[in-house]
Structures are given as C-alpha cells and as structure tokens.
C-alpha cells in the first residue's frame, strides 16, 4: 500500500459516504485537487447480492487518475469472498471492508459498525478475506461499538491479519457524529499496527487536520463531511505541506461549487427529475450551508422544493466576494468536536 502513498507528506483519502461519493462527486473533487486515494460507496453484500452497477461505475469509468479502493459491507463470509473476487476482476487498488458504518439499519444486520460487537466474528471474516483476496486488503473501522475501551481487543484481532491499511474513525458506533473524536485510540493503533493507519473524523480545515495528525502520528487523513463542505481542503493541506499559504474561498467560489455539484450529479442520471434532484442536493447542502449567513441559508434550503427556489436561495446568500467562515460553528448539529483538537 505504501507505493500508493506520497513519499514526502501524509496521504489524503476521500471517505466513502453512501449516496454522496459516487462517480460524479469523485470527478468534481478531482477538479479541486482531490485526494490521493478514493474509496467507493460500499457494495452491499448478502447471499443474493450482485455488484451495484452505479457504484461499479466509480471503478470502471473513473478518470481521476487516482487509485480507487472498492469497499464492501456485510457479514456473510461466502458472499463477501465471492464479491471480493468479482471486484478484483476490475481495476481496483484494493478491497476495503467497512467495519464502521453507524447507521442503525446496518448495525441491526450485524454489518458495518455492528460487527464490532463480535470481535470473534470479525476475526473469522478477516481471515477468510485475507486468504482469498489476491491484492491489497484494507479495513475501515471505529474505535468500538459502545465504548472506546473495546478498541484494544479489536486491535488484537486486526494485528492477526495481513491488512495493508487501517482507517480509523475516532468515535464509537454509538457516538455516531455527536462527540469529539478520540485521537488517543488512533495513536494506539499507530503504535501497534504494522500497517499504515489513517485518521478519520471531523477534519474541517487545515488546523484540525494538522492537529489530528500531530496527536495521532497517523500516516494520513481521510476526509468526509469536511470535504463536502470544503472541496478546497485537499489542495489547501498540500499547499501547507509545500510551505505555501491558501486564501479562504469566497461566496462566489462556493456558488460555483454548488452549481458544478448540481450539474455533474444531474448529468449522471439519464432520466433527470428535478424534484428528487433537489432532495439529493439537500443532502450535500446540510454540510455546505453550516455556518453561512448565520444559518439563514440553511433555513431557506431546508424548505425549497424547486430548482428556482434552490438557486434563488444560494444566489441571495452567496453572490459576493467576501470570504466564507473557515470553520463551522461549534454548536453545529452536523459537525461536532473539532475544537477539542488543540
């Protein structure tokens, strides 16, 4: 895995976010500098599952020039092995196993973060996948299901298997996105795992990214919700490591980003329907609008139903050259805990 990493700085990875990090979003991130490594939305794996065609396009039609890891989620071992073999027939940089998704519907099926309740089952899954995956095998997890005290036992399991990268979202499954991250858990993994460890969770600007790296000594950062809000973040981090400085995006910079996001996601679907597309845009805008115009834009966007209402709101609040807030407010309902990293 290390040959995929830059030699002179930490690696940057785009987090897999369901219904967000599809092929058009990957392409748009690339136009802003993008990550060093992409990870697909997860392929849902069951006894009867097939490879999702839209998610597969993130691999087969990916023209970003960067490597792509294919992520799976599930707990059926024969199905996971079968799916991994199918995915390895495509141009993937490796296979990633999701052990971190906190969605209740996923955890109830003992998949994603729900598997962290069963370290022995995780051990069985990792063994079977490592025996059958021909290339790189990576894992994304959280620091426990209910309590970070569970993490040392999980690390014991991870250490038993030849995984090439471990990405850790520094919260438990029950924490969801509501608490500060636990950098000490990521640091413990860095100290004990033989593979590179990537820190994930609430990197919203350059200072929070640098603090997370300092406090964990991780090999790199995975950016998720912060990248939706701030697509410039990958390039700003690289500029910092190169000794340069970056200017804050302005309202019009954000306006152009939102317009591009609308356009690329609309073009991805041959049967464009404006009402569901407005709803899809709202999923992005929850993160983008946080802290802008003292909450007025967020309030407007939550209530729009048409394309005209949508663009009327963003032009009213973003058609200016003033710099945007560098960081969401500390009481934000969708970002929490970044101020704890000092």
Domain ranges of the chain: 2-241, 251-318
Q: Is 133 exposed, middle or buried (0-12, 13-18, 19+ CB in 10 A)?
A: buried
Return the pLDDT at 337.
62
* Residue from 132, 122, 111, 130 nearest 155 by CA: 122
Cβ(313)–Cβ(301) under 8 Å?
Answer: yes
Task: List residues bridging with 331 in a β-sheet.
Answer: none
pLDDT at 331: 60
* Triad 42, 112, 337: Cα angle to 5°: 95
- Token pair recorded at residue 214: 């300092």
What pLDDT sits at residue 51? 98
Q: How many residues does the chain have?
A: 342
Low-confidence stretches of the chain (pLDDT beneath 70) = 1-2, 330-334, 336-342
- Per-residue confidence (pLDDT) for residue 279, from 0 to 100: 93
Question: What pLDDT was estimated at residue 342?
Answer: 41
Q: How far apart are CA 224 and CA 317, in angstroms?
A: 25
Q: What is the model's pLDDT at position 272?
A: 82
**From CA 228, how far away is CA 176, in angstroms rounded?**
18
Phi-psi category of 211—alpha, beta or left, where left has phi over 0 and alpha has psi -120 to 50? alpha
The pTM of the full predicted model, rounded to 2 decimals, is 0.95
Q: Please state, as a whole number, how many other Cβ atoms lie within 10 Å of the Cβ of residue 165.
A: 26
Other beta carbons within 10 Å of 182: 24
For 2-241, which CATH class? alpha beta
State how far the Cα of 139 lies from the Cα of 110, in Å rounded to an integer.
16
């Amino acid at each position: 895995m290390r040959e995929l990493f830059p030699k002179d700085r930490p690696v940057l990875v785009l987090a897999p976010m369901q219904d967000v990090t599809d092929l058009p979003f990957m392409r748009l991130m690339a136009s802003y500098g993008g990550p060093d490594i992409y990870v697909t939305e997860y392929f849902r794996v069951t006894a009867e599952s097939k490879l999702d065609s839209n998610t597969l396009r993130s691999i087969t039609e990916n023209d970003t020039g960067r490597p792509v890891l294919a992520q799976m989620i599930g707990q059926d071992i024969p199905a996971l092995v079968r799916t991994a073999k199918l995915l390895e027939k495509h141009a993937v940089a490796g296979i990633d196993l999701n052990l971190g998704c906190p969605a209740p519907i996923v955890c109830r099926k003992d998949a994603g973060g729900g598997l962290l309740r069963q370290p022995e089952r995780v051990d069985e899954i990792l063994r079977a996948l490592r025996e059958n995956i021909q290339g790189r095998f990576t894992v994304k997890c959280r620091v426990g299901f209910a309590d970070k005290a569970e993490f040392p036992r999980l690390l014991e399991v991870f250490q038993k298997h030849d995984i090439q990268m471990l990405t850790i979202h520094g919260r438990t499954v029950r924490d969801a996105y509501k608490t500060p991250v636990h950098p000490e858990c990521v640091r413990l993994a860095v100290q004990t795992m033989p593979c590179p460890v990537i820190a994930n969770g609430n990197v919203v600007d350059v200072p929070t990214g640098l603090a997370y790296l300092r406090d964990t000594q991780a090999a790199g950062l995975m950016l998720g919700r912060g990248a939706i809000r701030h697509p410039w973040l990958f390039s700003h981090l690289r500029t910092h490591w190169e000794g340069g400085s970056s200017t804050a995006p302005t309202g019009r910079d954000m306006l152009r980003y939102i317009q591009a996001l609308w356009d690329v996601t609309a073009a991805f679907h041959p049967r464009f329907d404006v009402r569901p597309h407005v709803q899809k845009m709202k999923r992005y805008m929850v993160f983008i609008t946080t802290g802008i115009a003292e909450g007025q834009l967020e309030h407007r966007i939550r209530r729009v139903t048409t394309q005209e209402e949508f663009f009327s709101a963003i032009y009213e609040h973003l058609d200016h050259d003033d710099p945007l807030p560098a960081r969401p407010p500390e009481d934000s309902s969708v970002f929490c805990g970044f101020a704890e990293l000092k």
